[in-house]
Amino acid sequence: MISFSEFVGRPCPNWFAEPQLGIFIHWGMFAVPAWAPRGKSLHWLMHNDFDNASVLSAYAEWYQNAMACPESPTAAHHAQTYGSRPYAEFRSEFDRAARAFDADTWASFFAKAGARYVVDQAP
C-alpha cells in the first residue's frame, strides 16, 4: 500500500494522522427531495457503467442531473413524488431552511460529539 507521504510527496500532518472525527456537510437544494437511488456503489459504476454513473449513483447531490435523464430512477421518483414540479421550485424550501440554520448550535453539537474539524460543501 502506498503511504500518504509517497502519494502527496510530503509528510502526513500530525493533525491528520491522529485518529479523529471530522464532519463533512453536503447541503444544497438536493436536500429538499433528499433522495437518490440505491444500488451499485459509485466505485462499481465508475468502472463498469461510467456513462451512467452520475445518473445511477446513490448521491442526492446529483438529483438535478439525474432528473434530466427521463429513464433514470431519479426521474421516475421525481415524477411519482412531485409530478412535473421543476427542480428550481425547491429553492424557496431550501432558502427557508437556510434562514433557520444556526451555525452556533451545529458547531456546539459537533464539538460535543468530539469532531476535530468540519468541511462545508454548501453553496
State the total domains in the chain: 1
Contacts of 85 (CB under 8 A, 6+ apart): 78
Quote the CA–CA distance of 3 and 22 in Å, as a whole number. 21
- In tens, the pLDDT along 39-62 reads 888 889 899 989 888 888 888 999
Q: Which set of grid coordinates corresponds to residue 72? A: 433514470
**Global pTM?**
0.72
Cβ atoms 25, 118 nearer than 8 A = yes
What is the span of the domain harbouring residue 112? Answer: 4-120
- In tens, the pLDDT along 25-43 reads 888 999 999 999 998 888 8
End-to-end CA distance of the chain: 35
Cβ atoms 119, 26 nearer than 8 A = no
Contacts of 68 (CB under 8 A, 6+ apart): 75
